Amino acid sequence: MNIKGLKRYVILPVALCFLLTAVYSIVFVFMDDRKRPEITMDSDVLSVSVHAGQKALLQGVTATDNKDGDVTSGILVEGISKMTENKTAVITYVAYDASGNASKASRTIEFTDYQPPVFGQEEALVFASNTAPDVLEFMTAEDILDGDISNRIKGTLLSDTTSLNYPGVHDVEFRVTNSMGDTQYITLPVEVYQAGDFNAKAELTEYLVYIKAGEDFDPRAYLQNIVIGNTKYSLDPDINDDLRLYFNNYTSPAINPKVDIVNVEISSNVDTDVPGVYSVAYTIDYAGRYDACTRLNVVVEE
């Protein structure tokens, strides 16, 4: 084979290779699906319950693809952001086509029945000076999204003292955050009395209550028992055969030795017309022999 024939032998396969490559490239460009689906929403704001499921979260959201057509069934909720200051969040959707192309879209979500976390107390925040209390043990928090979130409560002592071992009333700020990032704060008084001042315990039906502005409020209704040793004495406002109860009107037990006199002094700053956090202090003298104190915290909501 001469040089000319050899060139022809080499050039023809090379040209064929280039031709095949060009054809493949053209086919690949025209057949390869790289375009993402298009997500459409019928509103910019989605209003649903906090208990809404996947179906409710996807309402009004559709997706179409240039090759696969309607791909709405492949839309997923990618996530919901933390809550903003106006109590709304951002929900993000993702849609896929048959080639694996993905697109995302977002809109505002507002929960029609959302309520911020609510604090509670299991005991009164009143302690003897020698007890060194961990006040977080007595605080609870309930959330409409997460349920019991008491273990997330944090506290900060706002008073000038460095601990709760010193007699006096100390302000403590409690805070708790739910999974949506909504943080609630409440500042409550923690009363520390000199050890030995009281030899009884006063029990309430509740120790932290929430009421709406304008509602009636009777602090006497929350006083339940006084405990002396292992004995509980029910403090019924009615006059009993062996116990007489006086509110804010001290009466000497000596007036009738056969009847035990319970004197209850109630000090309250609750104003049900003005939203805020208030406190009611109860000081109890039982028959001139036993004393007790306790405190009810009241949150007046708008």
Whether residue 25 has pLDDT greater than 80:
no
Question: pLDDT over 90 for what percent of the chain?
Answer: 72
- Over the stretch 61-97, which tens digit does the pLDDT of each residue have? 999 999 999 999 999 999 999 998 888 999 999 999 9
Nearest Cα neighbor of 283 from 267, 271, 296 is: 267
pLDDT at 15 exceeding the cut of 80: no
Q: For position 29, what pLDDT does the model report?
A: 44
Domains and CATH numbers, the chain: 38-111 (2.60.40.10), 118-301 (2.60.40.10)
pTM attached to this predicted model: 0.81
pLDDT digits (tens, 9 = 90+) for 114-146: 999 999 999 999 999 988 889 999 999 999 999
pLDDT computed for residue 170 by the predictor: 93
> pLDDT band at residue 27, thresholds of 50, 70 and 90?
very low
Q: Tell me: pLDDT of 8 over 90.
A: no
